[in-house]
Chains A and B, each alone.
Chain A
Amino acid sequence: GAGVSQSPRYKVAKRGQDVALRCDPISGHVSLFWYQQALGQGPEFLTYFQNEAQLDKSGLPSDRFFAERPEGSVSTLKIQRTQQEDSAVYLCASSLATGNTIYFGEGSWLTVV
């Protein structure tokens, strides 16, 4: 596709529910990133993939957060047993290779009630 595509765009989850957020990176992009953005704040790094390898997951806030990219293209960010503090925009980004321009999707807006 022309840009990074994320779905769903909006998700309301009840506390304790599991959610899965999908990211389709720009075709051919090797690097894929997940960021979390709270209201009024800058994006905060969660995790990074190069192809199917998860090279850095140091930003994941707890073991309830899990990301995968099994075939080196589409990625899924899963949040188990959601809590209210998980409410945020989850941004996916991709780049052609390490050190190249990083392009962001429109984000998935998660509200936990």
Chain B
Amino acid sequence: GENVGLHLPTLSVQEGDNSIINCAYSNSASDYFIWYKQESGKGPQFIIDIRSNMDKRQGQRVTVLLNKTVKHLSLQIAATQPGDSAVYFCAENMRGSTLTFGKGTMLLVSP
């Protein structure tokens, strides 16, 4: 396949800012969506999920928004901290089948 290299989309923010990470998913039949955070050298860590019968879900400092019309998912992180620096992946799932991951976005938080 095509080698897309190591150049992930990158979002750079200052500590304390709000961050918004976007994701376009591919399958209109997907009914479950998850955001994962992956720090260097570690496995993906669950952040928040949302099912297709909802358009918004809030957690601690994080909010996920789902727009099924345009197949778009976003992750909002409030008061971003240096510890939030990582690669963020959205993943979609259809009727309990396997997860399909997006390409990932690197979040860099400056103190």
Contacts and interface: CB of A to CB of B under 8 A. Distances in A.
Interface of A: 4, 33, 39-45, 48, 56, 59, 91, 98-99, 101-107
Contacts of B46: 101-104
B54 interface: no
Nearest to B32: A99
Interface string B7-29: 11000000000000000000000
Interface stretch (B63-71, B73-81, B94-102): B94-102
B44 A91 contact: yes
Contact of B43 (A45, A59, A98, A104): A104
Contacts of B95: 99
B96 A40 contact: no
Given A43-B99, A102-B46, 15 more contacts: A33-B99, A40-B7, A42-B89, A42-B104, A43-B44, A44-B101, A45-B98, A56-B98, A59-B98, A91-B43, A99-B93, A104-B45, A106-B43, A107-B42, A107-B43
A53 B1 CA distance: 31
Most A CB contacts (10 A, CB to CB) among B41, B97, B98, B103 go to: B98
Interface of A is mostly: loop
Contacts, number: 54
A104 B44 contact: yes
A76 to B, nearest CB: 18
Contacts of A107: 42-43
Interface of B is mostly: loop
A101 B43 CA distance: 15
B111 interface: no
Contacts of B101: 42-44
Nearest to B106: A40
Nearest to A33: B98
B34 interface: yes
Contacts of B41: 106
Contact of B34 (A33, A42, A101, A105): A101
Nearest to A40: B6
Nearest to A98: B96
